[in-house]
Structure 1
Amino acid sequence: MPKFEVKGTFKNDGRMKPFTKTVDAPSEKLAGEFTLATIGSKHRLGRKYITIDSAKAINGE
């Protein structure tokens, strides 16, 4: 399964904090969904508090 690097921000303690996550996913869209689910459950946030700026495939392993 391809790896994707997902970058964005999420609201934590009233401030927007940047994040970069690497996820295994079959497509860019699902990489974003997996990231929303992971950050949302870890920080107890709704999706409206998480913004994904980019999701790109990582080449070569």
Structure 2
Amino acid sequence: MTDYTISGRFETREGSQPFERSVDAPNENVAREHVLSQFGAEHNLDRDSVEIEEVSAA
């Protein structure tokens, strides 16, 4: 598996917040899904509220 660094923004009441997460995944699509799932679980956000701007393999 590969480490992926995913960065982007998510919407809050105060406005847009930047984020950067690292995940271990077999491919880029799975890495994106992990991050979207994490934001849903941790911040109770819909997938539409999370904007992924960049995905890079480490």
CA deviations on 1:15-57 (whole Å, 9 max, x unpaired) are 1100000000000111111000001110001001000001110
- Give the unaligned 5+ runs of structure 2: none
Matched, 1:35 2:35: yes
Letter in 1 for 2:27: S
Given the two structures, how large is their TM-score scaled by the length of structure 2? 0.94
Q: Which residue of structure 1 lines up, in the alignment, with residue 20 of structure 2?
A: 20
How large is the Cα RMSD of the aligned pairs? 0.8
Per residue, is there more strand in 1 or in 2? 2
Who wins on radius of gyration, i.e. which is larger? 1
One-letter code aligned to 1:43: H
Q: Percent identity?
A: 33
Rounded to whole Å, the distance in 1 between the matches of 2:10 and 2:33 is 14
Letter in 2 for 1:49: S
Consecutive unaligned residues of structure 1, counting only runs of 5 or more, are: none
- TM-score, normalisation: structure 1: 0.89
Correspondence 1:37-52 to 2 at 5 A:
37-52=37-52
**Distance in 1 between residues matched to 2:53 and 2:30, nearest whole Å:** 14
